[in-house]
């Protein structure tokens, strides 16, 4: 069965102290389902790893270089991430693609390296508003997924987050039907690229202006396995509210 996950991408927010305070706030409310994954800043990874030891909270890094070491000033390697105890790494986020110029070839190298060392990539894909308005959503998803997962066999452990670029940080989210349609298409692509059933077995999250007002509607869609949350993951009470809504939707609590 697919994992149901709520992931919080803190981006360039929260000091080490802020990160630990947040965990103190949520840790007594975290059970095994849905799985909670936090993506703190690099500077907080090690301390977060120690803080969540013995809890059901998982964590990961927001990015990484595809080389394990080398003369890459300002970068972080998979081995550095693993040493903190992290199990996940966020790759291909639209901010990495559109602000920092990461292309699919580079993202694919990162995905391959992550899998080789035992990290679980959470791969972000999605179209811009111009691409959606031109009817190119499926073309973009096909291009990104086929290129980003190139050279994989299909038995690897990875998660996909559908994040329409036009919905990230804008307050405008995809409608449940728009999100579900994209998730269905991604599943069909995975079946086509790898083998029948791969799509059905892959956890696919929705990301893009998830908030308390829309999380229940979105998570009610059977194709949506949870959310990758940005701004709404920064506040403890809001995050716990999102978590509870997801629990009620997916586990009939």
**Residues annotated catalytic, as ranges:** 93, 163
To 10 degrees, what angle do helices 137-148 and 104-117 make?
50
Q: Which helix (H) or strand (E) holds 95?
A: helix 94-98
| 243, 36 Cβ separation under 8 angstroms | yes
Question: What are the CA-CA distances from residue 224 to residues 6, 56, 161, 207, 253 (Å)?
Answer: 11, 22, 10, 10, 18
Give residue for tokens 């000091």. Answer: 15
Peptide bond into 137 cis (omega under 30): no
Distance CA 162, CA 246 (A): 17
Burial 22-40 (b: 16+ CB within 10 A, else e): bbeebeeebeeebbbbbbb
What are the tokens at 188?
Answer: 């069909």
Among the listed residues 191, 186, 231, the one whose alpha carbon sits nearest the alpha carbon of residue 212: 231
Burial code (b: 16+ CB inside 10 Å, e: under 16) for 45-75 equals bbbbbebbeeeebbbbbbbbbbeeeeeeeee
Helices and strands counted in the chain (H then E): 11, 8
C-alpha 76/C-alpha 58 separation (Å) is: 19
């Amino acid at each position: 069965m697919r994992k149901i996950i709520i992931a919080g991408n803190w981006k360039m927010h929260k000091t080490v102290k802020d990160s630990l305070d947040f965990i103190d706030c949520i840790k007594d409310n975290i059970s095994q389902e849905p799985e909670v994954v936090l993506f703190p800043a690099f500077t907080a990874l090690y301390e977060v790893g120690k803080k969540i030891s013995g809890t059901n909270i998982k964590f990961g890094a927001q990015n990484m270089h595809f080389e394990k070491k080398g003369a890459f000033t300002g970068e972080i390697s998979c081995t550095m991430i693993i040493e903190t105890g992290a199990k996940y790494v966020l790759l291909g986020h639209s901010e990495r693609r559109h602000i920092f110029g990461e292309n699919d070839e580079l993202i694919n190298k990162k995905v391959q390296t992550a899998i080789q060392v035992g990290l679980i990539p959470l791969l972000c894909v999605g179209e811009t508003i111009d691409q959606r308005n031109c009817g190119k959503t499926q073309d973009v998803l096909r291009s990104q997924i086929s290129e980003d997962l190139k050279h994989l066999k299909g038995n690897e452990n990875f998660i996909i987050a559908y994040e329409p670029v036009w919905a990230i940080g804008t307050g405008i989210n995809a409608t449940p039907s728009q999100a579900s349609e994209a998730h269905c298409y991604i599943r069909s692509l995975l079946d086509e690229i790898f083998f029948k059933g791969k799509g059905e077995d892959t956890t696919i999250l929705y990301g893009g202006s998830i908030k308390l007002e829309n999380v229940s509607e979105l998570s009610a869609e059977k194709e949506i396995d949870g959310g990758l949350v940005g701004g709404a993951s920064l506040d403890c009470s809001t995050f716990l509210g999102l978590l509870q809504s997801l629990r009620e939707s997916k586990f009939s609590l």
